[in-house]
């Protein structure tokens, strides 16, 4: 599995884990709260394994930003006429960092 795929799976599991921890008890049936607890418990081990696998694959290797991560950083700038220039800037910064760290 690629690092990108592992990171996507990890993010999804972390969001599920977090989501099952935030609820208002008086609005949910006891069975729903139990299920949320089981889901959180079942997410812990895969989260740990994915974190370890990502760490092992990335030790000593350059890991660049994904397109999604760049879009998160660019935010509203991504919808402006300077969109292409913003991406070029990110690519140049990433290339310089890679050069300095390898």
Residue position matching structure tokens 């397109």: 67
* Of 6-15, 43-52, 86-95, minimum mean pLDDT range: 86-95
> What tens digit of pLDDT does each residue of 33-65 get?
889 889 999 999 999 999 998 888 877 677 777
**Other CB atoms within 10 Å distance of the CB of residue 95:** 11
What is the Cα–Cα distance from 36 to 19, expressed in whole angstroms?
Answer: 9
pTM over 0.75: no
């Amino acid at each position: 599995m690629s690092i990108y795929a592992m990171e996507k799976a990890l993010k999804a599991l972390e969001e599920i884990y977090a989501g099952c921890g935030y609820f208002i008890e008086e609005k949910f049936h006891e069975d729903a709260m139990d299920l949320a607890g089981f889901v959180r418990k079942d997410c812990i081990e895969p989260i740990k394994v994915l974190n370890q696998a990502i760490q092992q694959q990335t030790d000593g290797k350059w890991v660049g930003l994904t397109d999604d991560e760049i879009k998160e950083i660019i935010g509203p700038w991504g919808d402006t006429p300077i969109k292409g220039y913003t991406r070029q800037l990110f690519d140049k910064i990433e290339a310089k960092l890679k050069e300095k760290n390898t």
